Amino acid sequence: MLFNSIEFAVFLPVVFLLYWFVFRRSVRAQNLFVVAASYLFYGWWDWRFLFLIAFTSLCSWGSGLLIERHRHRPAAKAVHILNIVLNLAILGLFKYYDFFVTSFAKAFLHGQTDGLLLNIVLPVGISFYTFQALSYSIDVYREKLEPTHDIVQFFAFVSFFPQLVAGPIERATNLLPQFAKSRTFDYDQAVDGMRQILWGLFKKIAVADNCAVYVDHVFGNYTAQGGLTLVTAAVLFAFQIYCDFSGYSDIAIGTSKLFGIKLMRNFNNPYFSRDIAEFWRRWHISLTTWFRDYVYIPLGGSRVSKGKVVRNTFVIFLLSGFWHGANWTFIVWGAYHALLFLPLILSGRNRKYTNGIAEGRRLPSLSEFARMLLTFTLVTVGWVIFRADSISQAWQYIALIPHAGSFYTDGLGLCVTLIVLMLLVEWVHRERQHGLDLRCRYAALRHACYYCLIIIMFFTYTNSESFIYFQF
């Protein structure tokens, strides 16, 4: 079920009303209803996926109890490792098996894969809920979290429908306790949630989907395009993927607020970053911090020798790339960002920009603007690799940029206008939680903004595009 679909427009208010008016007297009843609604939401794509998420949830919940029972004994470590291996094995089978077989066949079997491929349909959001379930068992093993004995609470934590298929990847330390206590309806929080949903829908429907039309045309015929068109399409894809993914996160976080649940922020204006390190603190925050806490720091982080710092940096970026999908383009994309990140971390400048951007000023300085532009350019080059079907296509695309040719303009003016509008709103509200975090005293002006966005979405609607990160 897509957030930008008629089905969800019916599903959400029905679930909201039942949640607050029928099941509000009992936390357990609310949680059980959340699980039922979430499984209906997830099973809308394919009911067979439900068995997989239920199995993943059961394994991680059971491992937490076994770790508690055998605390400080070898059996606890064995259960911990077994749960990690089992979850990653399931993820690997569904997401990476055919990729490894195909790569092996190309290297050693002349590309022959007859009878070797499984051709399994990739379950939607498997990378997201697998990592979320793993964070729970890891935190229990590290004694950062007491295991829950309430299986309904845990299933609600793993399957909570707003963030189930594309994040944010929540930590059990934040989300699970919210299902353990009673929740009361907060009108102001719900109104803010509706604003954030509207802003997410605007970014997805108006900006991302219109950029997708231009980007798909150019990438589908890139050899026939002029260099300026190729650059334009790369820039539009940068905004497409940002508005698509951050739009989903805004809708997910806003929807959660309607149910009295607070999710972590997943994007913090990443294209206003002044270097690559700052970009990664602002982009897909839930995944970046997951790899930092569960991979980078356990490997020694940056408090080891320079050689190991290089190793650790490449490990987390290659894993981040591989997490995105079974294609060499994602791995190269991760390696590319590792190369950009290394000079900063080796020189100790990776924490240079932890403050807000242009704090106390309406506009950035020329130096800040130049740094933001350079960072955006480097990130956009990476997005070409990310978007390409193969490494050779990415290389050909970039190599063709210096060539002259015709300039494709269909739909470009609309895309640029919408992007500029989105950037202006996010710049003005860059120190707030989302673009529509309005604090204007005049209700009429606020409502005018809402109606303008709705009208823009209505007149710029293309086809209902699936969210890009559903494939990961």
Q: Which residues are catalytic?
A: 324
Please give the structure tokens belonging to residue 198: 């509207």
Distances (CA, A) of 60 to 28, 126, 259, 448: 20, 14, 25, 47
CA 121 to chain centre: 21
Which of these, 144, 118, 123, lies nearest to 52 by C-alpha position?
123
Cα(72)–Cα(141) distance, integer angstroms? 9
List helix spans (H) across 96-226. Answer: 97-108, 126-141, 151-159, 172-180, 187-201, 209-220
* CA distance linking residue 208 with residue 242, whole number of Å: 8
Q: CB pairs under 8 A, 24+ apart, for 65-68?
A: 65/147, 65/149, 67/137, 67/140, 67/141, 67/147, 68/140, 68/146, 68/147
Chain centroid to Cα 349, Å, comes to 26
Q: Cα dist. 18→22, 156, 348 in Å?
A: 5, 16, 52
CB 171 within 8 A of CB 158: no
Compute the residue count for the chain: 472
Tokens of 224: 């026939």
Of the candidates 311, 304, 317, 237, the one whose C-alpha atom is nearest the C-alpha of residue 277 is: 317
